[in-house]
């Protein structure tokens, strides 16, 4: 057992070192800005066949950086997460097809507009819905934080429909295609591109609420970056590079090429084996990130849980009260809320950034550790009280009685709960995609946004999770047998 714990400690240390130690750049004189973006918003940002992020926003940001002599570290974390990260100061700015509005100007500073678009409504090809008036009493899908969502919410009372909110475009589109919602609202450029490349919806309204897209930073901050963006945008428009980027993704030749590529792939790449082969690197990266979170999270939760659990059984009312309070708070908080609070809430108060991976580990440590503390405390209390009394009557101190008599019996009671908690920790890593960690679940969302193969991709990911959980369970059972022997 000691060897196993030592092995886990070494692995966790190496993971932390690999996370913090960065190779020194040969361009140390160039300032690097961290820029958040969406994950599924073609043609503005999406992953190509090589799982490399491309699109109007990506190319534009990189071109401006090159023009103005700075570097960018692009973080594809999703639109809603990007908004919160900018507000919390976790990233320097965001470019994600974000419409400039008066409401958003209260919290963000915007660049000069770099693209104009309007909001349209899309339905299934065989739908009878042709106008807003026909939406009365029906459900409409929208995407969190987007202009399409704002527009839908502004007219839903007038036209008598209800809205269903999703965090990414693919789930919004699928809700319409599956018949759960009758329509969705999205930027015209995005829907036109998607439909022309095989999205499977049709637009039935003219663009409304036309607006301009802008690069954004937290209000009152990063004015140097904003000036660089505006100056770079002006230069790109003058030298013709801006128009080339736009035509690359919205021109007829670009759309035709994408459509032909999709049709070709549909013949040989939409099988399970084809999808695995095409996306093996992305799946592998997602699995590695999931295992990193799981291993380090389990170690952190175990240490935290044992300490808090032991605190709950010492003969001191104050210590017991602290243990009970910590367990109550962190077991009661939903994991999603805790993750967002740590990643976005705390930096808003302190002004200090917390890397997404570290925020994820802290989240798992506190949440899973609270459950661990509860069964550690319960396991110790399950040992007959007479055992402690007998040990103390023989002259053993409380600490020695606990170490020599109570814990050996309590550990055997706790082991099944430990194994169960390991599995829960692995599954809970999927929730951390909300703060932009590219673990296995987030990887699946990105792949689906490109190939629209939701059923097969989620099936592959489900099998991957089951295999990992099976291996983890067998390892835990082996440890249990070793301890019992």
pLDDT tens-digit readout, 256-282: 555 555 555 555 556 777 778 777 888
Q: How many CB atoms lie within 10 A of CB 77?
A: 28
Q: How confident is the model at residue 189 (pLDDT cuts 50, 70, 90)?
A: confident
Where is pLDDT greater, at 476 or 58? 58
Range in 82-91, 192-201, 224-233, 422-431 with the lowest mean pLDDT: 192-201
Point out the least confidently predicted range of 7-21, 165-179, 247-261. Answer: 7-21
Q: What is the pLDDT of residues 135-165, one digit of tens each?
A: 999 999 998 878 889 899 999 999 999 999 9
Q: Where do the domains of the chain lie, and which CATH numbers do they carry?
A: 31-114+214-268 (3.40.190.10), 116-211 (3.40.190.10), 278-484 (1.10.3720.10)
How confident is the model at residue 124, as a pLDDT?
A: 93
The mean per-residue pLDDT over the stretch 429-444 comes to: 83
CA-to-CA separations, 425 to 1, 302, 335, 429, 472, in angstroms, rounded:
20, 11, 11, 6, 11
Average pLDDT of the segment spanning 407-435: 78
Residues of the chain with pLDDT > 90: what percent?
A: 29
- The listed range with the strongest mean pLDDT (13-17, 140-144, 400-404) is 140-144
Structure confidence at residue 200 as a pLDDT band (50, 70, 90): confident
For residue 482, pLDDT over 60 is answered with yes
The string of pLDDT tens digits covering residues 217-240 is 999 999 999 999 999 999 999 999
Highest mean pLDDT among 46-55, 109-118, 378-387, 393-402: 109-118
Q: What is the pLDDT of residue 133?
A: 92
pLDDT at 223: 92
Torsion over CA: 448, 452, 457, 459 (sign): positive
pTM of the complete model beyond 0.85: no
**In the structure, what pLDDT confidence band is assigned to residue 214 with cuts at 50, 70 and 90?**
very high
């Amino acid at each position: 057992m000691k060897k196993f714990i030592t092995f886990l400690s070494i692995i966790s240390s190496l993971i932390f070192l690999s996370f913090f130690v960065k190779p020194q750049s040969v361009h140390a004189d160039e300032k690097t800005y961290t820029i958040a973006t969406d994950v599924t918003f073609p043609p503005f940002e999406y992953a190509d066949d090589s799982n490399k992020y491309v699109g109007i926003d990506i190319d534009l940001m990189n071109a401006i950086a090159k023009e103005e002599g700075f570097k960018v570290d692009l973080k594809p974390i999703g639109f809603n997460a990007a908004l919160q990260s900018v507000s919390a100061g976790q990233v320097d700015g965001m470019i994600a097809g974000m419409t400039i509005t008066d409401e958003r100007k209260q919290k963000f500073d915007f660049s000069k507009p770099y693209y104009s678009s309007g909001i349209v409504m899309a339905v299934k090809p065989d739908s009878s819905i042709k106008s807003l008036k026909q939406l009365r009493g029906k459900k409409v899908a929208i995407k969190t934080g987007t202009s399409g969502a704002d527009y839908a919410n502004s007219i839903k009372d007038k036209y008598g429909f209800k809205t269903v909110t999703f965090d990414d475009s693919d789930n919004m589109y699928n809700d319409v295609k599956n018949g759960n919602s009758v329509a969705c609202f999205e930027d015209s450029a995005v829907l036109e591109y998607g439909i022309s490349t095989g999205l499977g919806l049709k637009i039935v309204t003219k663009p409304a609420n036309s607006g301009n897209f802008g690069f954004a930073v937290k209000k009152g901050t990063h004015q140097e970056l904003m000036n660089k963006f505006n100056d770079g945008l002006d230069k790109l428009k003058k030298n013709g590079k801006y128009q080339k980027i736009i035509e690359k993704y919205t021109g007829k030749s670009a759309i035709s090429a994408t459509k032909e590529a999709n049709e070709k792939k549909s013949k040989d790449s939409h099988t399970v084996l084809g999808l695995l082969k095409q996306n093996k690197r992305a799946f592998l990266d997602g699995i590695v990130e999931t295992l990193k979170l799981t291993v380090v999270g389990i170690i952190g939760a175990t240490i935290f849980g044992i300490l808090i659990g032991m605190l709950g059984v010492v003969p001191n009312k104050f210590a017991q009260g602290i243990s009970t309070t910590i367990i109550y708070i962190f077991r009661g908080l939903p994991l999603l809320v805790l993750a967002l609070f740590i990643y976005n809430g705390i930096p808003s108060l302190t002004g200090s950034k917390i890397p997404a991976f570290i925020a994820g580990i802290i989240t798992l440590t506190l949440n899973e550790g609270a459950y661990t503390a509860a069964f550690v405390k319960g396991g110790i209390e399950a040992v007959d009280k007479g055992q402690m009394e007998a040990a103390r009557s023989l002259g053993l101190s409380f600490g020695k009685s606990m170490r020599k008599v109570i814990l050996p019996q309590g550990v055997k009671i706790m082991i099944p709960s430990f194994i169960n908690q390991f599995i829960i920790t692995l599954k809970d890593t999927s929730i951390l995609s909300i703060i932009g960690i590219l673990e296995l679940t987030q990887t699946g969302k990105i792949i689906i946004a490109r190939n629209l193969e939701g059923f097969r991709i989620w099936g592959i990911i489900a099998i991957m999770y089951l295999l990992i959980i099976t291996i983890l369970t067998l390892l835990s059972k082996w440890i249990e047998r070793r301890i019992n022997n």
